[in-house]
């Protein structure tokens, strides 16, 4: 079986046409929940915002990852998938280095070595953590 054969979780591969579609595919209600997913993955503060791209005259998604010394924001045009957003964020996090080098390992380095199937597994676990966090916030 080739590396890309087999069934992957469609939530992470589906190309969403806009923010609402992305949230619907992920079965989450707000962008903050997606930001929380990225925080769990990268062990650092993350901001996710819908922004307007004046050039393409279309809504985009901006993901801002915090570093020890500075933050980097990257804008992603739709259509895009969670795997594409996470892939781009892995590159950004690698550029920033570990968030708190004294206490955390470099999550971007660990994630960058994963194949698609392993990355989807990590995303499934992270989404499970987000769901548990949301349930505990409701109490």
Task: Say if 1 falls within a structural domain.
Answer: no
Q: Which pLDDT value is given to residue 2? A: 42
Q: Does pLDDT of 33 surpass 70? A: yes
Task: Say if 10 falls within a structural domain.
Answer: no
Share the mean pLDDT of the chain.
Answer: 88
**Antiparallel, parallel or unpaired: β 46-53 and 58-66:** antiparallel
Task: Say if 34 falls within a structural domain.
Answer: yes
Structural domain boundaries enclosing 114: 17-138
Task: Say if 71 falls within a structural domain.
Answer: yes
Q: Does pLDDT of 42 surpass 60? A: yes
Residue 25 banded pLDDT, cuts 50, 70, 90: very high
Task: Say if 7 falls within a structural domain.
Answer: no
Compute, in degrees rounded to 10, the torsion defined by CA atoms 23, 25, 27, 30.
0
| Residue 23 CB-density burial (10 A; 0-12 exposed, 13-18 middle, 19+ buried) | middle
Task: Say if 6 falls within a structural domain.
Answer: no
> Smallest Cα–Cα separation from 123: which of 34, 52, 47, 46?
34
Q: Looking at the 3D structure of the chain, how many domains does it have?
A: 1
Q: Strand, coil or helix: what is 47?
A: strand
Pick from 54-58, 59-63, 86-90: least confident: 54-58
pTM: 0.87
Task: Say if 9 falls within a structural domain.
Answer: no
> Smallest Cα–Cα separation from 14: which of 28, 5, 26, 2?
26
Task: Say if 30 falls within a structural domain.
Answer: yes
């Amino acid at each position: 079986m080739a590396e890309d054969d087999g069934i992957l979780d469609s939530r992470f591969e589906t190309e969403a046409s806009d923010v609402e579609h992305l949230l619907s595919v992920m079965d989450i209600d707000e962008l903050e929940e997606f930001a929380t997913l990225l925080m769990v993955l990268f062990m650092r503060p993350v901001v996710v915002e819908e922004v307007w791209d004046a050039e393409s005259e279309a809504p985009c998604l901006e993901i801002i990852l915090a570093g020890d010394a500075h933050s980097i924001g990257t804008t992603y045009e739709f259509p895009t998938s969670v795997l594409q957003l996470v892939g781009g964020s892995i590159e950004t996090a690698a550029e920033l280095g570990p968030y708190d080098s004294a206490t955390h390992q470099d999550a971007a380095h660990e994630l960058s070595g994963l194949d698609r199937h392993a990355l989807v597994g990590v995303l499934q676990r992270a989404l499970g953590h987000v769901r548990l966090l949301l349930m505990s916030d409701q109490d």
